[in-house]
Amino acid sequence: MNSTTSAYQTSASVSPKQMSQLNNLKLNDGNEIPMVKQSLDPYGNETELGQAIKDSGVPREKLYVTTKISGTQVKNTKEAFELSLKKLQLDYVDLYLIHAPYFAKTPEDLQAKWADLEAIHASGKAKSIGISNFLQPDLEVILKTAKIKPAINQIEYHPYLQRGSLLEFQNKHGIATSAYGPLTAVVKAKPGPLDGTYEQLARKYSVTPGEIALRWCIDQGVVALTTSASEDRLKAYQKVAQFKLTPKEAEEISEIGSQKHFRGFWGNKFAADDRS
C-alpha cells in the first residue's frame, strides 16, 4: 500500500479466518473478523486475488475476504459489486466497504450509497458491510437513515494519528475499528519519539518493533490490517498472539505517540495539523 495510489484503486484482501491463539473480534452483526488481517498485495488486484484463492485449494469458509467500492468516483453500486464478485470468482464476500466518503456531493449521496450496501447485505452476498476513511460527521449522516449500522470503519490509525474522539464515537455506536497503516510509526515516520519505546518493549517481549505496533492496536480492540510483499514477514506477525502489552505500556505508547503527528494517506484531504 502506498499513499499515492492506495486512495484511488479498487481493493480486496484475504485473510485466514482464525489466527492461532488470537481471538477474532465479534462485529455488531454477529459475524467475526480476524484481529490481524493480512494481505500480500491488497490494492487493484481482485482478478489476481480471485485466481490465487481458487488455486490455493483452501476451503472458502476458512478465508475472510474483503473488498470495496470506490470512495472517490460515482459508480453504480450493484454493478460494481457484481463485477468484484466476478473478478474474485466468489459467490459472496465477508466484508464490503465504501472506500471513502469523497464521492458524495451531498449528505443524501452518502445515505443513498449506504442504502445500496444494505441491499447487498440483504441479498446475502456480503456477510458484513462497513465503511472506510469516514469521520464522525460522515458517520452521523448515514446513521440518520441507516437500517443497519456499519459493522466497521477502516481508517489510518497508529500512535501518530489517534483520530481524536472518533474511536470513542464508534464504540458508543457499536462500530468496530480496523487500522490500516498500523506500522507507520515503525516504518514510515521514523525517526520519532516512539523509536526508543518500541525498541525497549521489543527486547522485553523478544519480538520486533512492528509486532509491538500491531499489539498496541489489538490491545485496544482495533483490528490491525497489515500488508507486505513477504509471506515470511506475514507469518512472523502471528507472534502478536503470543504476548500482550500491559495497560501501562499501551498508555505510554499513546501518550508518547501524541507528541508527533503523521498522516500517511489522504493528505490532500486534510490540513497539515488536522488530527481527525
Asked whether the beta carbons of 263 and 270 are under 8 A apart, the reply is yes
Distances (CA, A) of 89 to 51, 54, 69, 175: 7, 8, 17, 29
99 labeled part of a ligand binding site: yes
Q: What is the DSSP letter of 17?
A: S
Dihedral angle sign, alpha carbons of residues 39, 41, 46, 47: negative
Catalytic residue among 43, 64, 157, 160: 43
C-alpha cell at 272: 497539515
Active site residue 180: no
C-alpha cell at 117: 450496501
161-170, long-range: CB within 8 Å, 24+ apart, which pairs?
Answer: 161/261, 161/262, 161/263, 161/264, 161/275, 162/254, 162/257, 162/258, 162/275, 163/275, 163/276, 164/275, 164/276, 165/136, 166/135, 166/136, 166/276, 167/220, 167/222, 169/136, 169/139, 170/139
**152 three-class SS:** strand
Task: Give the CA dihedral 180, 186, 189, 193, nearest 10 degrees.
Answer: 120
Q: Whole-angstrom distance between the N-terminal and C-terminal Cα of the chain?
A: 21
Among the listed residues 64, 68, 107, 95, the one whose alpha carbon sits nearest the alpha carbon of residue 84 = 68
C-alpha cell at 37: 488481517
Which stretch of DSSP H or E encloses residue 154?
A: strand 152-156
Which residues are annotated as catalytic?
Answer: 43
Binding residues for substrate: 99
